[in-house]
Amino acid sequence: MPDDRISAFSLTEQVAALRPELFDAWNRVLDSGQYILGPEVDAFEKELQSLLGVPAVGVANGSDALLLALQALQIGPGDEVVTTPFTFFATAGSIARLGAVPVFADVDPQTFNVDPEQALSRVAPRTRAILPVHLFGLMADTLRLVEGFAGPVVEDAAQAILGSQEGRLAGTVGDVGCFSLYPTKNLGAFGDGGFVTSRRPELSDAIRRLRVHGATAKYYHVELGMNSRLDALQAAFLRVKLRHLQDWTDKRVALADRYRSGLAAHGLQDRVRPQMVPPGFSAVFHQFTVRAERRDALWERLLAHGMGSTVYYPHPLHLLPAFSHLGYREGSLPVAEELCREALSLPLYPELRFEQVDRVVDVMAAFYRGTA
């Protein structure tokens, strides 16, 4: 009997289709004898620059990308960085690790991204940067932040490669863009990886130094950096996957459209509200995330039918123990807090089939009718 379960995410079919190309890349790296940085990483960085239009610097992971970007901007103790509370911990954690203070601004209830007007209202004399997150593959309103803030804007584009605003790609609008290559990302490695983009050459140069302990030559260190080098094997695998990224992105967009049309056909708009993509924005749907009435019960019902779904993120950052010293309380940022209670990410990956999307939506519709 066939397995009719639907995973929240799966790499099995993708890896099977790419296996010959991946083995070729594996053998090329083995034969090269160079496994850290080197020609494969150089080639991957050049291919990213060709795709995105700005220089790219490979690093060990997405969290390091954020940390190195802020360090390159010389952000440190006592400085403030405005960001969102509705995201993964690394966003604010990278700020705090440098001794700086994350200042949280509430999010837009429809896009789930930081509200640009609220972010700008939190700018104070000690504000050194604004760090928006392009959540679930939809860019935050970065152009508004760049227009309204005189300092640097650091894009957390971990989930948004090829996303755009007014035709400008994620990671190219602000001063620095930070990307994760974690296996589940739209462009994912077979382990950890990340990269940083910048339209400012001096920042790209700084990040290249900082990723190798602040060295400009072997054993010659001009500043304190860290060990954040991208493995050659990961770069070689990523070069294979990069060739397929646009096709995978198109499939994600088509699947998201299928979800939207299915939810509308069942009349679920008032109970299941998908993340809104405003005019002028192009989302790449790292996740298809909705605000769901009775979220936890729906989550359990989908699981009971063999359908995976995921809660990103169950706790707003401003209420986590790690940031309790900042003085936020429940109700401080109400939209983010509501989203943590309501957001549910439905199954989405390029190999998912339309009929599987339809089955998920059918179970959701039956749940709200009280018949599932």
Residue 350's nearest CA partner among 5, 113, 17 is: 17
Q: Is 179 helix (H, G, I), strand (E, B) or coil?
A: strand
- Sheet hosting strand 281-282, strand order edge to edge: 168-169, 164-165, 281-282
pLDDT at 4: 84
Strand 164-165 to 343-346 pairing: unpaired
- Rounded to whole angstroms, the Cα distance separating 86 from 115 reads 11
Helix axis angle, 89-97 to 62-72, nearest 10°: 40
pLDDT at 370: 87
CATH topology of domain 245-369: Aspartate Aminotransferase, domain 1 (3.90.1150)
pLDDT tens per residue across span 202-246: 999 999 999 999 999 999 999 999 999 999 999 999 999 999 999
Under 8 Å between Cβ of 194 and 226: no
CATH topology of domain 12-242: Aspartate Aminotransferase; domain 2 (3.40.640)
Tokens standing for 203? 């920042």
For the chain, give every domain's residue range.
12-242, 245-369
- Rounded to whole angstroms, the Cα distance separating 353 from 51 reads 28
pLDDT at 2: 43
Torsion, CA 104, CA 109, CA 111, CA 117, rounded to 10: -50
- Rounded to whole angstroms, the Cα distance separating 169 from 152 reads 17
pLDDT at 372: 58
Per-10-residue mean pLDDT, the chain, length 372: 78 94 95 92 98 98 98 97 98 98 98 98 98 98 98 98 98 98 97 97 97 94 95 97 98 98 94 97 98 97 96 97 97 98 98 97 95 63
pLDDT at 3: 59
Those residues with Cβ within 8 angstroms of residue 45's Cβ, 6 or more apart along the chain or in another chain: 55, 56, 57, 58, 195
Those residues with Cβ within 8 angstroms of residue 254's Cβ, 6 or more apart along the chain or in another chain: none
Those residues with Cβ within 8 angstroms of residue 146's Cβ, 6 or more apart along the chain or in another chain: 153, 173, 174
